[in-house]
């Protein structure tokens, strides 16, 4: 199949009036028609395999490393319904993601991991365990009764098919546990933390490489006590992710984070909950009742209960409200999170050999078409 006449954002460059050839579920070639990426007409089959995108934006399918749910399903409650979550986000442009497991019992953690090991693919990349090694001072909606100081290392392993991210509070986990998680194969993130700057730096030295949903669930920044926020913004080797909905963080704060970090070290996550892609107005997450109120999710106690954000909206917000150039905003939704996981040779880019997971956007950055593994999504 040839996708022709598109503004192709490859993750590395932008090609005006570009052309992408898809074959066997993968990108076969990228370029301009004048570059001759086709060797002969047999490469593309009949004329029905040529799609004129009429100048639309063609970008890598979005990559989201924090998806609690979607399509009316919460991953914690029904891991076996992961396909429904995947379909809901795929129609919104997210073609690869990590389901996020909110702190729960060890038995539920083990069950969720088992489901993902059987299901993993280019869409379901693995699993993100947010907890249980979190600070009881910054629990957010995590159930304090399930917080712990240990993590079952057999659930942290990384395989060829399953990437594992584990979010811990570094001051609770300690250096030994964090080093052990890294040795087991996990990417270790830091969040829901009351860490001081010194404790944050000790966590980085022990292998902490990412700050989870910057500004949320952590010790606030102060001039004499910068904590995990100040550490995350000023350590050039540490990645940060951010929920760009204008609710979890003001757009001015998102701009500050983006400007503070070196290019590629800041990316978007959604923290999406079951209403995304479905429209339910209430649900229960690990025993906490959450409702949609005034365009946001609230627990009965009034705290934020995840987000209604999808990744295309995060990109639009980045361009329209934060002032991020479109090329960079698209990378923050695809290339950079894939790079953090070490899978950007397979997803997150429009390049030969990568999965043909693509999103077509109009000039208003609305999703018009989505391709997953070379097939258009209904």
Q: Residues with catalytic annotation?
A: 271
In angstroms, the CA 127 to CA 189 distance is 13
**Pair 174, 190: CB distance under 8 Å:** no
Residue 302's region, left for phi above 0, alpha for psi from -120 to 50, else beta, is left
In angstroms, the CA 173 to CA 186 distance is 14
In angstroms, the CA 4 to CA 58 distance is 10
Apex CA 90: angle with CA 84 and CA 96, to 5°?
100
In angstroms, the CA 301 to CA 271 distance is 19
**Pair 210, 241: CB distance under 8 Å:** yes
Residue 200's region, left for phi above 0, alpha for psi from -120 to 50, else beta, is alpha
Residue 302 structure tokens = 């009034």
Q: How far is CA 196 from CA 171, 228, 238, in A?
A: 8, 6, 16
In angstroms, the CA 252 to CA 69 distance is 27
């Amino acid at each position: 199949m040839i996708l022709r006449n598109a503004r192709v954002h490859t993750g590395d460059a932008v090609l005006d009036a570009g052309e992408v050839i898809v074959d066997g579920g993968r990108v076969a070639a990228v370029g301009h028609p004048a570059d001759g990426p086709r060797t002969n007409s047999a490469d593309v089959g009949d004329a029905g395999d040529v799609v004129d995108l009429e100048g639309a934006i063609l970008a890598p399918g979005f990559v989201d490393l924090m998806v609690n749910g979607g399509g009316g399903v919460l991953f914690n409650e029904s891991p076996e319904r992961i396909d429904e979550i995947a379909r809901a986000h795929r129609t919104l442009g997210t073609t690869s993601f990590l389901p996020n497991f909110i702190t729960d019992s060890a038995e539920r953690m083990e069950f969720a991991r088992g489901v993902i090991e059987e299901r993993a693919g280019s869409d379901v990349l693995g699993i993100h365990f947010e907890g249980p090694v979190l600070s009881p001072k910054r629990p957010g909606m995590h159930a304090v009764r399930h917080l712990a100081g240990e993590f079952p290392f057999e659930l942290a392993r990384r395989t060829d098919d399953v990437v594992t991210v584990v979010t811990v509070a570094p001051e609770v986990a300690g250096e030994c546990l964090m080093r052990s998680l890294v040795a087991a194969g996990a990417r270790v993130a830091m969040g829901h933390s009351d860490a001081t700057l010194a404790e944050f730096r000790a966590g980085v030295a022990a292998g902490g490489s990412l700050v989870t949903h910057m500004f949320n669930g952590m010790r606030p920044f102060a001039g004499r006590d910068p904590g995990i926020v100040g550490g995350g913004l000023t350590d050039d080797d540490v990645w940060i992710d951010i929920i760009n909905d204008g609710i979890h963080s003001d757009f001015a704060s998102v701009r500050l984070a983006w400007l503070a970090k070196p290019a590629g070290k800041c990316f978007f996550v959604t923290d999406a909950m079951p209403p995304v892609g479905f429209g339910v107005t209430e649900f229960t997450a690990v025993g906490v009742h959450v409702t949609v109120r005034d365009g946001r999710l609230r627990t009965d106690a009034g705290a934020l209960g995840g987000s209604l954000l999808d990744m295309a909206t995060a990109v639009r917000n980045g361009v329209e409200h934060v002032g991020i150039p479109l090329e960079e905003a698209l990378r923050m939704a695809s290339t950079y999170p894939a790079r953090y996981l070490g899978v950007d040779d397979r997803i997150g880019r429009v390049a030969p050999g990568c999965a043909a997971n693509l999103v077509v956007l109009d000039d208003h950055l609305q999703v018009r078409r989505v391709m997953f593994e070379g097939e258009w999504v209904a």
